[in-house]
Amino acid sequence: MAKKTPKKIVFKPNYLYYYMGWTYTMNKNKLDPASANEKYPDGQRRKIKFINLGGTRSSKTYDEIHFIYQYCIQNAHQNKHVKVFRETLVDCREKTLLDFKKCFTLMGLEKDVHYTLTGDGQGGKPLITIAGNIIEFKGYPEDGVQEGDSNIVFINEILETKSIDTFENIIQRCEDIVICDANPNVTDHFIFHLENEFNTFYTNTTYLDNDHLIEGLQADYESKCPWMLEDSHIEIVDAIPTIPVGQNEMFFNGFRKRVWDKPECRENEVYNPEIHRRINTENEKRGTINRAWWYVMGEGLPIAREGAIFSDATWVESFPETGFDEVVLSMDFGYTKDNTTLIRTGRVGMDAWIEAMACQPTKTPEITFNLIEPQLLKELERRKKEGVLSDELWICCESQDRYGTDAWVDSLNSIASTKGYNWNFFKIQKTSILAGIEIMKKFNLHLVEQHTKSGKLSRFRLEQQNYMYKVVNGEPTNEPDPQSRWCDIWDGARYGFQNNFYWVNNC
């Protein structure tokens, strides 16, 4: 019987593959001067990290599979070890391995000819062998367990990794390349903040970067866009400099990035098509618009969950030292379970900066005072820079301050007086939560970032993402969820707005 002729391999990846290959080639032998020592006086070679964030059907996973396949071919019989991770082995086997098999089929690769696959059945531990190199599919290691040696680590859907410690455990003994990908469907994650690390490269891909997109899908995606696409243009970024930008014989050189020529109309602004992106009335009429989906899946950009009350707030690195019309202090009491918060809010016209100066449970008024004392002293120092020489502070607090046998406001005033501080804690007049939120939403809110040592999302980030409007029978309302666990900082801030900014308007 004549031997069967193998199919011809079809190798047609998109630009992401070529960008990764070129970037790897140009940087794999680069030395990090910060790692210099007596043995390596010029620095040491360090692994390369690719963080590929993108929208739906941007082909990032298939391009990464092409890259891994080519790495195995170019290092034939070198005993290279590639480790592919998802949160659980089940997900890695049933989702990521399935992507490998689909991609291999599109490439014309034949099992037991171009590669071997074992352990892909239920309960198995899959291994793919290509040219003598191993691709292993795994779930995350247990907490505190360090993953073994590898040449490439590929973490599919990196946003499933909640702890930077887990991430470090996975990549610590990887020698050559780390690849991570995800749809950025959260506003923040530790993986978004590695740009200052040596040899770390970010990409942002969309459906526009997939030259093999099935007919009709682009129209389906763009039907969800809230705005007229004519108010945007496409820029080509990060092209390989040695090749002409744009369409070439083999591939399109450069990532295609949509840039909007007009800003989005914010919730507290009056829509004006002359200055804002024009609303896509056709998509609106058809009822297909989905703003959150469009940002994450259409443009590959992080955004808060649909229904988040303060989804359009912006993040800033620090609270300005000077220049405010006024700065107010406010508190919410959490006692033993919820967080006690001290909030500093500065206002300039219709812009407001909110900083959570303290946020943790406090069992007693004494513990509460010890928590907030250094922060209030910090605010007094800031006020001196504004030219305010008075040591008097007024801190508005929630109206229900009794817990056990203690009345928090009275106790805090007593402690402050004993210490010789001219600090005045007082209860605000109680109004509805909705009324307070409506006051807050009149302003352009700037939220001060809280960096955590672990790299996990800060409490303020979590509250911004998860403080939601109440849903009744599957339909969102304009009423804040009264059972929310994500409003400690917002409640503290709301008291300050209700007591001090209720009169401010944008007329």
Asked if 244 and 217 count as a contact pair (C-beta separation under 8 A), the reply is: no
Ramachandran angles phi, psi of 88, nearest 5°: -125, 155
Show the beta-strand stretches assigned E in 127-272. 127-130, 133-139, 150-155, 174-182, 200-205, 232-237, 246-247, 252-253, 255-260
Cα separations in angstroms, 49 against 37, 171, 281, 471: 23, 10, 42, 41
Sorted by where each starts, the structural domains of the chain and their CATH numbers stand as 15-213 (3.40.50.300), 229-279 (no CATH), 314-500 (3.30.420.280)
Residue 6 pLDDT: 63
Mean pLDDT of the chain: 92
Is residue 443 over pLDDT 90?
yes
Residue 292 pLDDT: 81
What the block records as the tokens of 83 is: 């480790």
Is residue 331 over pLDDT 90?
yes
Across the strands, what pairs with 344? Answer: 329, 355
pLDDT digits (tens, 9 = 90+) for 117-154: 999 988 889 999 999 999 999 999 988 888 999 999 99
* 176 — pLDDT class (breaks 50, 70, 90): very high
Is residue 406 over pLDDT 80?
no
Is residue 1 over pLDDT 70?
no
Is residue 506 over pLDDT 70?
no
Distance CA 26, CA 15 (A): 16
Asked if 292 and 306 count as a contact pair (C-beta separation under 8 A), the reply is: yes
Residue 202 pLDDT: 96
Ramachandran angles phi, psi of 165, nearest 5°: -65, -40
Neighbours of 246 (CB within 10 A): 11
Distance CA 282, CA 113 (A): 51
Q: What is the mean pLDDT of residues 182-202?
A: 88
pLDDT digits (tens, 9 = 90+) for 93-126: 999 999 999 999 999 999 999 999 999 988 889 9
Q: What is the mean pLDDT of residues 389-405?
A: 88
Is residue 34 over pLDDT 90?
yes
Residue 374 pLDDT: 97
Is residue 456 over pLDDT 90?
no
| Weakest mean pLDDT among 18-22, 39-43, 175-179, 262-266 | 262-266
Residue type, 406: D
Q: What is the mean pLDDT of residues 280-309?
A: 86
Identify the H or E element spanning 505: none
* 454 — pLDDT class (breaks 50, 70, 90): low
Q: Mention every residue, 6+ apart, whose C-beta is less than 8 A from residue 76.
A: 131, 132, 133
Percentage with pLDDT > 70 across the chain = 95
Is residue 413 over pLDDT 80?
yes
| Weakest mean pLDDT among 76-80, 141-145, 415-419 | 141-145
Distance CA 268, CA 195 (A): 33
Distance CA 341, CA 372 (A): 9
Residue 453 pLDDT: 64
